[in-house]
Copies of this chain bind each other. A is one copy, B any other.
Amino acid sequence: MDFEKLAQLDAADPLAHCRAQFVIPADTVYLDGNSLGLLSHATQARVAEVTAGQWGQDGIKSWNKHQWVQLPQRVGEKLAPLIGAAPGQVVCCDSISVNLFKALSAALSLVKQQDEGARPRHQVLSTRDNFPTDLYMVQGLSSIVGSERCELQLADESELLANPQAFITEQTAVVLITEVNFRTGRRLPVAKLIEHAHRVGARVIVDLAHSAGAMPVALDAWQADFAVGCTYKYLNGGPGAPAFIYVAKRHLPAISQPLAGWFGHANPFAFEADYEAAPGIEKMLSGTPAVLAMAAVDAALDSFTGVDLQQLRAKSVQLSELFLDLLESTGCANEFRCISPAQSHERGSQLSFAHDDAYAICQALIDAKIIADFRAPNYLRVGFTPLYTRFTDIGLAVERLAQIMADKSYLAPQFQQRHKVT
């Protein structure tokens, strides 16, 4: 492994300075930012300040004094430029699952209005290999409104891309598409799918869980209708951090969503018995914002200040290409089947490898302080976070992986024994 050359790449990296903002676990190469991003020093300080300084010292007064009450909107506006959204279209709240339920309901209500008179369409098209919670939320909504008003239809990802018109038809109400596949890292051509959907009057929900903070996203330019996303992966908002939801401005006056909690009310502090939705994006809020967790997201987003997203993407591509090249050079590449697309523009910011012993190999890597992760049934995933992953890290990771494959240390019983992983 030519670490001198890798050090040169790091020295020339225009984003190299970003790494110092993060708490890097000691002697560790962290390639799991696609599952849980790292803590930044600013986030650590903010959580301490909000806990001891604000809640501890000012109690209830903090809602106004420290503007807790505006957190969902403020964090939403900070997120907006990272996903190509003009102001007034994004809020931070709830989990991505709960936000999917809102977006689905809102999209169906929109299609119903648009199809008025006619029998409203009810098909929600998604990909079989989408992240399960996306599919579950469609099934959940369907379970209470009935399959005649919401019915999940699954397409094979490759078949959908090869022939979108065959799947996105006049029967389609909503297309629910995740830009980057969580298993394979495959990046779908969202703009193209939105075009197809709009041509037949369907609405699109884009799941940006594996996109936001890893690459430029252009929701407004794509004419996306709705989007949801996660803040705890590439946005480093913390474990289980509140998610976000985007609704295109043009749809805001017409839509409604059923999780009509008091924070989505036009005038929450009037405590009226009748729900009246807020006119703007606030109508997507539900209960009281999770202040500690949302403050962490707010602080985490500051590490993107001044970061050029094209540059971020370029580094992400460079890191993954380097990983593939080095793996090839070690001679162990042929032990794995790379299930991520060969072309970098068709990938997100991760690589996935199939191997019968993927679970044990992942455990052996973690034991060697290379943090990768495993996804059922037999995939090893490595994620690249351009803000803190160094080229040197890629060298270290591949070197140790090659070692593990060479000495077959992953066959040791302690690595084979399964436990719950996320």
A residues near B (Cβ < 8 Å) are 23, 25-26, 28, 30, 32, 35-36, 38-39, 43-44, 47-48, 51-52, 55-64, 68-69, 94-98, 101, 105, 109, 128-133, 135-137, 139-141, 143-145, 154, 183, 232, 238-243, 256-265, 268-275, 286-294, 296, 366, 371, 373, 375-376, 419-422
Given A132-B272, A273-B132, CB of A96 within 8 Å of CB of B64: no
Of B30, B129, B258, the contact of A101 (CB 8 Å cutoff):
B258
Given A96-B287, A287-B96, A291-B238, CB of A137 within 8 Å of CB of B259: yes
Contact B35 A60 (CB under 8 A): yes
Shortest distance in angstroms between A128's beta carbon and chain B's nearest beta carbon? Answer: 6
Bound form: Cα–Cα A52–B41 in Å: 9
Contacts A23-B52, A135-B275 known; list 19 others, CB within 8 Å. A23-B56, A30-B59, A43-B51, A51-B296, A55-B239, A59-B371, A63-B239, A64-B420, A94-B95, A96-B288, A97-B262, A97-B263, A133-B287, A136-B262, A136-B264, A140-B259, A140-B261, A143-B258, A143-B260
Contact A273 B154 (CB under 8 A): yes
Nearest-neighbor residue (CB-CB) of A183 within chain B = B271
Question: What B residues does A240 contact at CB under 8 A?
Answer: 68, 287-294
Contact A239 B420 (CB under 8 A): no
Shortest distance in angstroms between A355's beta carbon and chain B's nearest beta carbon? Answer: 17
Given A63-B421, A145-B145, A270-B376, CB of A139 within 8 Å of CB of B260: yes
Question: What B residues does A94 contact at CB under 8 A?
Answer: 94-95, 98, 287
Shortest distance in angstroms between A144's beta carbon and chain B's nearest beta carbon? Answer: 5
Q: How many copies does the complex hold?
A: 2
Nearest-neighbor residue (CB-CB) of A154 within chain B = B273
Shortest distance in angstroms between A253's beta carbon and chain B's nearest beta carbon? Answer: 16
Question: What B residues does A242 contact at CB under 8 A?
Answer: 290
Given A261-B137, A269-B420, CB of A95 within 8 Å of CB of B256: no
Shortest distance in angstroms between A242's beta carbon and chain B's nearest beta carbon? Answer: 7
Report the 9 A-B pairs with minimum CB-CB distance, sorted nearest first.
A95-B287, A97-B261, A140-B260, A97-B287, A239-B291, A140-B258, A133-B262, A136-B275, A39-B56
Shortest distance in angstroms between A65's beta carbon and chain B's nearest beta carbon? Answer: 10
Contact B97 A286 (CB under 8 A): yes
Taking each of A51, A61, A131, A243, which has the highest tally of chain B beta carbons within 10 Å of its own beta carbon? Answer: A51
Contact B261 A98 (CB under 8 A): yes
Contact B262 A105 (CB under 8 A): no
Shortest distance in angstroms between A243's beta carbon and chain B's nearest beta carbon? Answer: 7
Bound form: Cα–Cα A30–B57 in Å: 11
Of B132, B269, B289, B371, the contact of A60 (CB 8 Å cutoff):
B371
**What are 5 pairs between A and B in contact, CB < 8 Å?**
A47-B47, A97-B261, A97-B288, A132-B265, A136-B264
Given A101-B259, A286-B97, CB of A269 within 8 Å of CB of B376: yes
Shortest distance in angstroms between A266's beta carbon and chain B's nearest beta carbon? Answer: 11
Nearest-neighbor residue (CB-CB) of A43 within chain B = B51
Contact B55 A261 (CB under 8 A): no
Contact A60 B275 (CB under 8 A): no
Question: What B residues does A140 contact at CB under 8 A?
Answer: 257-261, 275
Contact A32 B59 (CB under 8 A): yes
Bound form: Cα–Cα A393–B44 in Å: 34
